[in-house]
Amino acid sequence: MNLQSFTRQVLVWSVGFLWVLLGWSLPAFADGASAEAIFREAYGHRYTWNETFPGYSAQVKMRDGEEQFEGEAHLLPNYAVTVQNSGSDNLRQIVAAQLQMTATHLTRSPFEQFHAHSQFEQTGQDETGAVRIEELGDQTDSYYKVKDQQIVQVNRTLGDLKVEVNTIDSMQTTEGYLPTHFQVVFRDAESGSVIERDDIRDSYQKVGDYYLLSKREIRSGIEERSVNKLLPDTVVEFNQLKLDT
């Protein structure tokens, strides 16, 4: 993962709401339900950690191209991240970013925190039957697609980048849905040309009452076929997952 790619990922995933949306699942709705009602109901059906989340530690192994990393990571109850190792500072930052992204995604936040000044509008369906919902009044020209009771696409404009996130697969827990495979397309906001495609595949392990990220594979490139590489470009494994006491 080169520095520019890493910077793009941090930019996107630092927008916590993008991760929140990827965790949403939509129940069935009667015809005529407003877009805002659908979103509000959906917000309560995503998987998140509860308010008593204790934090946890893990042993980390990472391969990024030819570079290797081993260390220890700790996610605190306030979602601060520490990573200890004797290797590359760049790799340490990448590991810390993966944990921070996950923590942001799984944090419970009030609906109004992100949408107090927004309105929502259903604007049709695509050829797959996915319903398009636009968010009016935000700063990022956001719109989403909903199909089979899940958010299947999120779109944002972040400065000179347009970002499209497609959820490919998710796991169902008793407390909500948790995406396990998604693809991100970065485009130039002016020309629309593709800058990078990322394919991210996650595995989770249940430890006590919480689902914790145990493995992440990232495949990157510009061509569409790059997301189907046999071997991932970056692999991060979190082993010996242990909740704090």
Q: Regarding predicted confidence, which is higher, 11 or 53? A: 53
CA dihedral 221, 222, 225, 230 (to 10 degrees): -10
Q: 79, 106 in Cβ contact below 8 A?
A: no
Report which listed range, 26-35, 153-162, 189-198, is most confident: 189-198
Percent of all residues in the chain with a pLDDT value above 70, rounded to a whole number: 79
- Beta-carbon contacts of residue 195 (< 8 Å; ≥ 6 apart): 8, 161, 186, 187, 188, 222
Q: Which amino acid is it at 143?
A: Y
Average pLDDT (100-121) is 74
Dig out the tokens for 229 from the structure.
């590489």
User: In the predicted model, what is the mean pLDDT of the chain?
Assistant: 82
pLDDT range class, residue 4, cuts 50, 70, 90: low
Q: Which H helix or E strand runs over 9?
A: helix 3-13
Q: What is the pLDDT of residue 136?
A: 82
164-170 long-range contacts, CB within 8 A, separation 24+? 165/18, 165/21, 165/22, 167/22, 170/25
Q: Taking the model in full, what pTM does it have?
A: 0.83
Query: CB–CB of 204/212 below 8 Å?
Result: yes
Q: Dump pLDDT digits (tens) for 37-71.
A: 776 666 667 888 998 999 999 999 999 888 888 99
CA-nearest of 117, 104, 93, 113 to 234 is: 93
